[in-house]
Structure 1
């Protein structure tokens, strides 16, 4: 099958003959990929990894897979499959998993990012517990590929205990924060504004801490490479500020994100504006990864598809550029 494969830092390859995934366990299902998005984490793995991928020559602690894996974890599909037989589930053996916080597992890795082959391919095999259904009459397939990053944001907002308020937004704007008010600018204008931004993560981190109010809370969602940054502890101590982190999501976040889209709480028309390009899988390195790295001011989300016919529906199509 066709696939985009991670080998090491700075080394990802399009492989037109990667082995098809096989069903091994009784609870496995085989998926025919419709769309797969490029995540900021994918870009970090390419430029600064391995982060979640195992180092070259080593194996993932749980799956025992090496670093040479199909990338991609923002996946949608229209494949129908029978309910699989119940298989033996792995027994959690780290404190996070035992407590139900499996998103913070000691051995955290993702399908398509260190744990097992992902969705930048024609087919994907995963455990049935990793497949979450949505109403295909309410959510288009390209929008479905955005549910994973939406769930990450959904989880982060809950972790931060953020509460919207006009005064807070106005103060944030005075301090240089880019905000979005759905009753103000059109989504088209906001998307154009966002595409012009290319914030440096460290500068954003420092500014975020300094501009917090007394007992304010900053939540880090960004994925960092294996390096430390300067941090002045008294910046936190003197004003009793709080710094917390948010990683991935749990199943409930994913399900709530789906319901929010299906019920109209999150607008599909607005989400479509976030998709700035759709490309064929075989063009994924040049028009996907390298395009986002070298021209990130032009894009928000680029989607792959292994089938040309999928690129002709649901909006943007850059496959012939």
Structure 2
């Protein structure tokens, strides 16, 4: 079968590989991937990896490079193991890609995303969404209703990161919010904050193309260039008594962005760390103390969030498909996918690989 495989830094190939066996374990599901997103984690692997892709066999899954990529995907079920009752052949599913023990400290508490042994489809599992076939565990295959398209189903995974961040920030009807950094996750955080009822939303983003996208996603949002405007000063004018926002979400993983969030949030406000920092960030810890700031750092998402997001998408209040800027064939994944997303102009936001398309 055809598969997009990551070998090492700057080395991604479309190759013919053996398809998975039709002999499934009792709790496994054979799927046909339909649409798969390219994630920021995939980009990090491409530019600087291996990072989370396993050069040595993974402690839990046993997976080892080369790795079939793709952990943001929709699929169709082809077959199921004899103990599987949650899905059947023909079902459309969104893949919740996290794989971890059910019986370790975190698994016993339902916190599967925090397991120290966690693996992930498309990163540290034998199969990924950029192959013509894949095998996953039954708990990874979440059925989606007809109100959710294949594209939307593939977008549930990154949307889960965003909605979890909004949940951790306690955003609700009437909240005032700053979204700092409008990459794909920041754009989904913007949509999730809107869906959660935020009354004032401000976006801080230096890239003009992404500022334009933010305005198209949520027209009532205030969209600022932090290089040209004083974001905390702007918020002082627009919040009650000039105190700042209730919640600031750092979505890019940059020191400057984190410090804007700390300056912009009110006393007893909340800063949510969403973006992944690749190096230590220097902060003014005294400012954080004087303002009595709550810090919520997020990693992945609770795996139970899938049906909620599907319901929000189906109801039309979480239009995740709006951040998709291109769909490409697997054969074009490097030139029109990874390299396009690394273009400093930031013309693209989210690129999806259509596994049924040909170059």
Shorter-chain-normalised TM-score: which range?
Answer: 0.7 to 0.9
Q: Distance in 2 between matches of 1:130 and 1:206?
A: 37
- Structure 2 counterparts to residues 23-102 of structure 1, below 5 A: 23-54=23-54, 56=55, 58-82=56-80, 84-85=82-83, 91-92=101-102, 94-102=104-112
Q: Quote how far apart the aligned CAs of 1:214 are.
A: 1.0
Q: Quote how far apart the aligned CAs of 1:253 are.
A: 1.0
- Structure 2 counterparts to residues 206-285 of structure 1, below 5 A: 206-225=259-278, 227-267=279-319, 271-285=320-334
**Does the C-alpha gap of structure 1 residues 209 and 18 become closer, same or farther in structure 2, counting only changes over 3 Å?**
farther
2:253 and 2:275 in contact (8 A); partners too: no
- For CA contacts below 8 A with separation 6 or more, give which structure has more relative contact order: 1
Which deviates the most, 121-130 or 243-252?
243-252
More strand by share: 2
Give secondary structure in 1 for the equivalent of 2:160.
Answer: helix
Q: Distance in 2 between matches of 1:104 and 1:90?
A: 9
User: CA deviation digits over 1:31-81, x for unaligned, max 9?
Assistant: 111110111111122223333222x2x221101111321011111123354
Unaligned 5+ residue runs, structure 1? 310-318
Q: Distance in 2 between matches of 1:77 and 1:209?
A: 41
Q: Distance in 2 between matches of 1:172 and 1:273?
A: 18
User: CA deviation digits over 1:196-215, x for unaligned, max 9?
Assistant: x9967332222212222112
**Does the C-alpha gap of structure 1 residues 6 and 266 become closer, same or farther in structure 2, counting only changes over 3 Å?**
same
1:209 and 1:218 in contact (8 A); partners too: yes
1:108 aligns with 2:157: no
User: CA deviation digits over 1:5-44, x for unaligned, max 9?
Assistant: 12223332222x1221234422211111111011111112
Give secondary structure in 1 for the equivalent of 2:161.
Answer: helix
CA RMSD of aligned residues (A): 3.4
Q: Distance in 2 between matches of 1:75 and 1:109?
A: 16
- Structure 2 counterparts to residues 171-182 of structure 1, below 5 A: 173=202, 176=204
Q: Distance in 2 between matches of 1:263 and 1:115?
A: 33
Q: Distance in 2 between matches of 1:10 and 1:26?
A: 37
One of 135, 145, 148 as aligned partner of 1:135: 145
Unaligned 5+ residue runs, structure 2? 86-98, 179-198, 228-250
User: CA deviation digits over 1:148-203, x for unaligned, max 9?
Assistant: 11122111211221235375578764x947999xxx96549799x89xx9967332
Residue 149 (structure 1) aligns with: 158
Residue 316 (structure 1) aligns with: none
Q: Quote how far apart the aligned CAs of 1:86 are.
A: 5.3
Give secondary structure in 2 for the equivalent of 1:298.
Answer: coil
1:94 and 1:106 in contact (8 A); partners too: no
Structure 1-normalised TM-score?
0.79
User: CA deviation digits over 1:266-315, x for unaligned, max 9?
Assistant: 24xxx333211110001111110111012561111111022228xxxxxx
Number of equivalences = 294
Give secondary structure in 2 for the equivalent of 1:273.
Answer: helix
1:2 and 1:282 in contact (8 A); partners too: no
Residue 204 (structure 1) aligns with: 257
**Does the C-alpha gap of structure 1 residues 167 and 122 become closer, same or farther in structure 2, counting only changes over 3 Å?**
closer
* 4+ residue runs over 4 A deviation: 166-172, 175-180, 188-191, 197-200
